[in-house]
A and B are shown apart, each in its own frame.
Chain A
Amino acid sequence: MQLSRRELLSAAALPWAPSRPKIAAIITEYRKHSHGQHIVDRFLEGYGWDGEHHHPAMDLVSLYVDQRPNGDLTPDRAARFPGMKVYPTIAEALTAGTSKLAVDGVMLVGEHGRYDRNEKGQTKYPRYEFFKEIVKVFESSNRVVPIFNDKHLSWNWDWAKEMYDTSRRMKFPLMAGSSLPVTWRTPSLEFPTGARVEEAMCVCYGGVDSYDFHGLETIQGMVERRKGGESGVEWVQAYRGDEFWAAYKEKVWPTELVEAALCRSHTLVPAREGFNNIFPTVDDMKRIVKAPVAYRYKHSDGLMSTMILMSGLIRDFNFSARLTGQRDLFSTQMYLPMPDGRTTLANFFSPLVYNAEMMYLTGKETYPLERTLLTTGLTAAGVESLHIGQKRFSTPHLNIRYQATKESTFWRS
């Protein structure tokens, strides 16, 4: 997704896009490998993009950091980048100490840091609270600028919906979401636009109210391209533990899609000692995966999607789907070069930051906010279904219809 020269020039004429926009970053913490660090560092230090060390054509001028744990990198970054000032409040970061909004774009990173969990196991990251503070400044300044919100909008559906509604009412660009829809794919395949799809799946790893969101984004970034576009979701049913294996046995979801997804993994734990890459039987899976989770959900147009967490078996995000009229299953891996010993840089943040940059420059969302609104709601609905005893949870509020962008926005260049 490269902007043409003409588009960039025309972007310069937009009210929120001066030749070199000023950006404020509002983050929970700035620690090695926190999302705040991955994202803000890319604005400050630049990053590998398109075969160059790319420096965003904008200046990150203000920073608000909510928590300062051990290993806080804020002082180091502030000292090395004196053009970036650290402010004690969100309002001051946005106004640069004046009485009016003084930036042209906001990066909101409410991930990592010590925040309470509720009884459902959701971490109460203060994205909504940060957002409200930002909007207050917009209102008092009578000016709006684009906001990028890392990950889902909020753990609380009503708040997420309010964030969405506010951005539409006040007419400012808002993008959100995970790196999964925009990172490399192995193979580098796009979901065929307008295809009819019967079943879609992501087999990945991680925990509830955490990587489940990434798995849901993996699916949604693909199936939104299907015929008719996204139609919304009617219900979500979650499974865990014994109920998961019972459902697996009863083929509640198509097991051949699980197998296809696992065949895209680069991190399949060998089921037998002495073998480095061997396909597990279901009994092997049961032995290896201690706490499996599935969210199975029905889209309004009939599509069934399943997000499966198989921690212990794999450490990557794999997508598979059955397309109508296609003999072979469609599958790929959303490749995250994960700095958990495999790499040193979480470069999947590069396409995320690049998309945010394009929004700051052009004032246009490069992919639809409705995607993240839906996946935010699906995450909360999955958590809810688990909380009410793995019962089907009706989601009339997720009647979210939207169309995908025509252009692909995943990392290919």
Chain B
Amino acid sequence: MKRIAVVTTIYKYLSHAQHMADRFLVGYPHEGRWHKPDMQIVSLYVDQKPVGDQSQARATEFGFKVYPTIAEALRCGTDKLAVDAVLIIGEHGDYPKNELGQVLYPRHEFFRQCVEVFDQDGRAAPVYNDKHLSYSFEKAKWMLDQGKRLKFPILAGSSLPVTWRLPDIEIPLGSQIDEALMVGVGGSDPMDYHALEAMQCMIERRKGGETGVKSVQLLEGEAAWNAPYSKELLIAALSRSDTPKGLTEKDGRTQNLVASGELRKLVPKPAAYLIERNDGLKTTLLMLNGAVQDYTFAAKVRGKGTMSTQFLLTPVPNVTYSACLVSKIEEMFSTGRAPYPAARTLIVSGMLESCLQSKAKGSQLLATPHLSVRYNAPTKSQHAQR
């Protein structure tokens, strides 16, 4: 039975660590069964213990130990690496923000301490890193480089790429994509990250694969409305929403928010993240707080017309989308192969950082030669389909 170390910021109800690590303890719904992973959490490191901390209660109930350092958690109190996989969840907890508004979650720091153990003990284990690799592209890149150097698989990222889609579509591998647009909501930087990764998992399937990001620009306010994205794609994406606000909340009516002009009234602070790729593809994330509450996507795909879908974020508290993600983590822990490339998460980590830099510099267009991350999408669809 594989042995897992959990390295996390906090472990309390509805934190990422709770709903993800718990699935290894009590199982989770998967393909119509309650699936219990054939692996065991043997050690836990928690960085902070806020009110409501569950770490010791879980350890007592499920027979593992909480260690005071990451190295001890990975070695389970011995002098050698004593686990077969590491689950890093650096989300939630009380951490400062930098001048770009990014929460400085210590994911890189946690990862570095794991790598130190791998180096010292002459053995490495697969690592899952929740959400983006780091707030800093440079640090994120270093993390993936360590995986290559020590030959251990890394999986990272958000639940959005692997959750249910309404409708259940996939862009055919090798398609010519002429433009793509994503609509997201929520704060920056947590939620824009999810939206960017959702868009990335769709467009990486284009002809030639991902070629890297040429430039980014983050526009706000009026400039965001006037940004050069297709209004048709915006209508298509919003047609997939189940949560339009305003008049729908007032009296239940359906709305074409774009055609009626209501969209502008509902969104006081729109933001457009314009991301141009090295192969010329133009992609846009619109953060439309106030208009909707869900995550939708549309793209012009040659030979297919406009393809659009909603990434279904199932309700709290079950958040069953995280079960979709845990099944991918379990797959990597069990096979030693990441079902989809962490390069996706790397490029998204980098484009988010650069977009926030553009914002800090008064919406300047920024060339991003450092984001020439090339990779190919997995041939097999990875989202929930069965």
Contacts and interface: CB of A to CB of B under 8 A. Distances in A.
Contact of A49 (B28, B239, B253, B312): B239
A267 B315 contact: yes
B128 interface: no
B254 interface: yes
Interface string A365-398: 0000000000000000000000000000000000
Contacts of A28: none
Contact of B252 (A38, A263, A278): A38
Interface stretch (A93-101, A162-170, A301-309, A340-348): A340-348
B342 interface: no
**Chain B at the A interface: mostly helix, strand, loop or mixed?**
loop
Contacts of A265: 29, 318
Interface string B303-322: 00011100010111111100
B317 A270 contact: yes
B27 interface: yes
Contact of B32 (A37, A42, A276, A320): A320
B251 interface: yes
Contact of B241 (A48, A264, A330): A48
Q: How many residues of A sit at the interface, in one of the four size bands?
A: 35 or more
Given A276-B13, A277-B23, A76 B251 contact: yes
A251 to B, nearest CB: 18
B29 A277 contact: yes
A138 B4 CA distance: 71
Contact of A45 (B22, B30, B254): B254
B33 A337 contact: no
A266 B243 contact: no
A205 to B, nearest CB: 14
A259 interface: yes
Contacts of B150: none
Contacts of A15: none
Contacts of B166: 184, 335
Interface residues of B, number: 58
Contact of B34 (A274, A279, A344): A279
Contacts of A50: 239
B235 A263 contact: no
A100 B22 CA distance: 67
A260 to B, nearest CB: 5
Contact of A53 (B239, B298, B317, B318): B239
A9 interface: no
Contact of B259 (A53, A187, A337): A53
B99 interface: no
Given A49-B239, A51-B298, A345-B243, A266 B315 contact: yes
A184 to B, nearest CB: 5
B167 A266 contact: no
A263 B32 contact: yes
Contacts of A346: 252
Contacts of B307: 51
A276 B254 contact: no
A53 B18 CA distance: 40
A184 B240 CA distance: 12
Interface of B: 13-14, 18-19, 22-23, 26-30, 32-34, 54, 57, 164, 166-168, 235-236, 238-245, 248-256, 259, 293-294, 298, 306-308, 312, 314-320, 323, 384-386
Interface of A: 32-33, 37-38, 41-42, 45-54, 73, 76, 184, 186-189, 259-260, 263-268, 270, 274-279, 320, 328-332, 335, 337, 339, 342-347, 411-413
20 contacts: A45-B254, A45-B255, A47-B254, A51-B236, A51-B239, A51-B306, A73-B252, A263-B33, A264-B32, A265-B318, A266-B314, A268-B29, A274-B54, A274-B57, A276-B316, A277-B28, A343-B294, A344-B243, A344-B245, A344-B293
